Amino acid sequence: MKWNVLNEQMLHGGDYNPDQWLDRPDILEKDIELMKASHVNAASVGIFAWAALEPEEGRYEFDWLEKIINNLYDNGIYTVLATPSGARPVWMALNHPEVLRVGPDLVRNHMGARHNHCYTSPYYREKVWNIDKKLSERFGRHPGVILWHLSNEYGGECYCPLCQQEFRNWLKKKYGTIEALNKQWWTSFWSHTYSSFDQIEPPIPKGELSVHGLVLDWRRFVTDRTVDFCAWEKAAVRAGGSDVPVTTNLMGFYDGLNYFKFRDVLDIVSWDNYPFWHRNPADESDTAIQAAASHDLMRSIKQEPFLLMESVPGAVNWQPVCRLKKPGMHELSSLQAVAHGSNSVQYFQWRKSRGSSEKFHGAVVGHDGTGNTRMFREITALGKRLENLKALTASTVKPEAAIIFDWENRWALDQMQGLLNNSFENMGRPNDPKHYFPTILDNYSAFWRMGIPVDLVDMSCDFSSYKLVIAPMLYMQRENIVQKLRSFVENGGTLVGTYWSGLVNENDLCHQSFNPFGMQDLFGLYSEEIDALWPDQKNWLVMKDDGRRYELTDLCDIVKISTAEVLACYADDFYAGAPALTKNSFGKGTAYYLAARAGRDFFFDFYNALTKDLDVTRSLGSSELPANVTASLRIGPDAQFVIVQNYNAAPVSFTAAAALTDFETGEAVSVINLQPYGVRIFYKN
Ligand code: GLA
Ligand code: ZN
């Protein structure tokens, strides 16, 4: 494996589409000149190049690609080589329409767009296998090729007869008998009992959406199908003789796939990051927090450094309003990725295309074709800086705290009817009416403000290395989570649980018990009822020790205490005085229970005190971080690096509590001065 190359330096570069410019040797030559000028050392090539690689069925044209890869390599630029399966050539769609996707309306698409293919179609799989294997045979041992970029942003789903049949096979494998399926899906409700697997259709707007077990299993199946397709592509490049590591570009919190299931197929995780910078220029923290959490989620999949595969130089072209990155923001947002464990800064795209839908998407090189732009200069400066950060590539982020974010739990919460409902958009699926995602981010925000590294793990992960695990809204229980959390606390861990936890099993079937199921002795309480509030209604959590009040929204759980100690109570409604925050000893550890949805002010105060108690490592020791400034920590075999980031448009200066040496200048530092949107990297002594 060529891990050595990936660990030797920060990669800097991005999506490069020379196949759009094969008739312009002058442009291809200029590309190399500008890549060298901007300190680019990696180009992701061939992502949507199938039509150029196989212009007609069975006729492969790889010579142009060889020239490109050789030329890049001769000029010190590595190739991240893509398999072209993210979009198919016209001839294929016309000759074999079965490669095209069928939508939830059960109508087959026409040729067009990308990601418009069936992951089951044997013909598509065969064509993908052939071209992937041939690419591997020809280029898989080329010294310039350091990484396989499998397809592009796998996503979406297909409802064709073949996929439907695969779904039925998947169900048969999972349940064994139709009786077992009927029981877990509770199909006797509304007389939806099946008598054979052949009768089952996927969930579709004009058909069945009310059987929650069906909807969940379909979404799991879609993940498994996609992982299977990804594994197929990996097998094809291995069959071609290449042992170069594989990745695929994921999409952060994208709802459609459970990315933790890609853990074993991918050798390295990479992802595409497009935050809405400057949505609120006076306070970038919301955007910064969401981007930071996304990086942490992606890193947590393999608990290893990852690659930032795409980000935009300048402005994207698909956000509602496509703002420019203000001077300095490009470097800050790029180094934010590095701070959270990325070993690269890569862009979509190297050069703007002349036509089609992305012609105005930000790029390193614009239609002017020169390096004479503000963005090019900023990218060049960043490229230079990245060259000096080699030492960081051997380090990673090793948090002592984790927040559980679980895709399947999210799906179950989204479709659950009750408590909080909103309009049914998104193909009959409600759109996060329970606010699971913002709740995750609210918990996360406290750690960002304190500069405490945190993992975002799902229920399949191992929690034993953490001091603190936070499990917001653990509605669904799967992957033996009850036992795992119990032993985590028993062995001395600290757990924070919340309202609306432990209601259903992995098939969304309610437990016949008070909730949280299997954890009542762990928290020393049980929930008897839960109240839901309209958006304009509030309650308050009042701390018993000092009377501090925090606003509560959304959901208020009314719990009965057995052994827990009450730390705070509700101030309002018929449950005023009932417990709102509790603490319980269990084995060698402690379990807190937050009964209602609190805001970021509460989480900051609560986790600030708790992490001090637990002595959870802060990136900058006990330094008080100014507003909109955070610090991250990468731990290497020989050194620790603190990356301090200023999300303010103004300079900031504060005193560090830890002894620091500036990694880039060697200067010993006690007062940290940061430029507007500035980033500094320190050795932690
Ligand atoms: C995605 C895709 C790219 C490009 C960018 C535009 O991340 O992978 O091909 O379309 O979006 O932002
Ligand atoms: Zn299909």
Task: Write out the H or E segment, with its range, that includes residue 336.
Answer: helix 329-339
Paired tokens of 36 = 């060298």
Distances, alpha carbon 86 to alpha carbons 111, 322, 595, 615, in Å:
13, 25, 45, 47
pLDDT at 617 over 70: yes
361 close to ligand 1 (CB < 6 Angstrom): yes
Domains of the chain: 401-614 (3.40.50.880), 629-684 (2.60.40.1180)
540 close to ligand 1 (CB < 6 Angstrom): no
316 close to ligand 1 (CB < 6 Angstrom): yes
Q: Is the peptide bond before 651 cis (omega within 30 degrees of 0)?
A: no
Kindly report, residue by residue over 46-56, the tens digit of the pLDDT. Answer: 999 999 999 99
315 close to ligand 1 (CB < 6 Angstrom): no
Which pLDDT does position 646 carry in this prediction? 98
pLDDT band at 33 (very low <50, low <70, confident <90, very high): very high
- Tell me if 279 sits within 8 A of 287, measured CB to CB: yes
Mean pLDDT of 628-644: 97
Ligand 1 centroid to residue 317 C-alpha, Å = 10
- Tell me if 152 sits within 8 A of 256, measured CB to CB: no
Is residue 565 annotated as part of the catalytic site, yes or no? no
C-alpha–C-alpha distance, residues 266 and 270, integer Å: 9
Ligand that comes closest to the CA of residue 353: 1
310 close to ligand 1 (CB < 6 Angstrom): yes
Contacts of 59 (CB under 8 A, 6+ apart): none
Kindly report, residue by residue over 531-576, the tens digit of the pLDDT. Answer: 999 999 999 999 999 999 999 999 999 999 999 999 999 999 999 9
Paired tokens of 664 = 């880039």
Backbone φ and ψ for 128, nearest 5 degrees, come out as -65, -45
pLDDT band at 1 (very low <50, low <70, confident <90, very high): very low
pTM above the 0.95 mark?
A: yes
C-alpha–C-alpha distance, residues 119 and 131, integer Å: 16
C-alpha–C-alpha distance, residues 130 and 85, integer Å: 11
Contacts of 620 (CB under 8 A, 6+ apart): 451, 631, 642, 644, 656, 657, 658
pLDDT band at 101 (very low <50, low <70, confident <90, very high): very high
157 close to ligand 1 (CB < 6 Angstrom): no
Nearest C-alpha to atom 5 of ligand 1 is from which residue?
Answer: 348
Which pLDDT does position 685 carry in this prediction? 72
Q: Is the peptide bond before 349 cis (omega within 30 degrees of 0)?
A: yes
Contacts of 349 (CB under 8 A, 6+ apart): 14, 15, 16, 17, 358, 361, 362, 363, 364
In sequence order, what E strands does 579-678 have? Answer: 579-586, 589-594, 596-598, 629-635, 640-646, 652-662, 668-674
Mean pLDDT of 409-418: 95
State the distance between the two ends of the chain, measured CA to CA, in whole angstroms.
33
Q: Please pick, among 54, 153, 157, 408, the residue that the annotation labels catalytic.
A: 153
What mean pLDDT value characterizes the chain?
Answer: 96
C-alpha–C-alpha distance, residues 603 and 598, integer Å: 7
Paired tokens of 498 = 């919340």
| Beta-bridge partners for 59 | 56
Ligand 2 centroid to residue 113 C-alpha, Å = 16
pLDDT at 384 over 80: yes
Mean pLDDT of 172-193: 98
Kindly report, residue by residue over 268-301, the tens digit of the pLDDT. Answer: 999 999 999 999 999 999 999 999 999 999 999 9
C-alpha–C-alpha distance, residues 404 and 296, integer Å: 12
Which pLDDT does position 192 carry in this prediction? 96
φ/ψ bin of 407: left (φ > 0), alpha (ψ from -120 to 50), beta (otherwise): alpha
Which pLDDT does position 314 carry in this prediction? 92
Nearest C-alpha to atom 7 of ligand 1 is from which residue?
Answer: 272
Percentage of the chain exceeding pLDDT 90: 96
Ligand 2 centroid to residue 158 C-alpha, Å = 4
44 close to ligand 1 (CB < 6 Angstrom): no
Ligand that comes closest to the CA of residue 48: 1
Ligand 1 atom with the smallest distance to the CA of 153 is 8
153 close to ligand 1 (CB < 6 Angstrom): yes
Which pLDDT does position 684 carry in this prediction? 87
Which pLDDT does position 2 carry in this prediction? 45
Which pLDDT does position 430 carry in this prediction? 61
pLDDT at 588 over 80: yes
- Tell me if 148 sits within 8 A of 245, measured CB to CB: yes
Ligand 2 centroid to residue 203 C-alpha, Å = 14
Q: Please pick, among 157, 233, 284, 310, the residue that the annotation labels catalytic.
A: 310
pLDDT at 427 over 60: no
Q: Is the dihedral of CA 97, 102, 107, 111 positive or negative?
A: negative
254 close to ligand 1 (CB < 6 Angstrom): no
Ligand 1 atom with the smallest distance to the CA of 316 is 12
Least Cα distance to 17 among 251, 248, 356, 324 occurs for 356
Ligand 1 centroid to residue 348 C-alpha, Å = 6
Is residue 153 annotated as part of the catalytic site, yes or no? yes
Which pLDDT does position 7 carry in this prediction? 79
Least Cα distance to 143 among 208, 73, 215 occurs for 73
C-alpha–C-alpha distance, residues 402 and 380, integer Å: 36
SS3 343: coil
pLDDT at 577 over 50: yes
pLDDT at 162 over 50: yes
- Tell me if 374 sits within 8 A of 329, measured CB to CB: no
Ligand 2 centroid to residue 231 C-alpha, Å = 17
Highest-confidence segment of 428-437, 480-489, 653-662:
480-489
SS3 598: strand
pLDDT band at 659 (very low <50, low <70, confident <90, very high): confident
Contacts of 513 (CB under 8 A, 6+ apart): none
C-alpha–C-alpha distance, residues 358 and 355, integer Å: 7
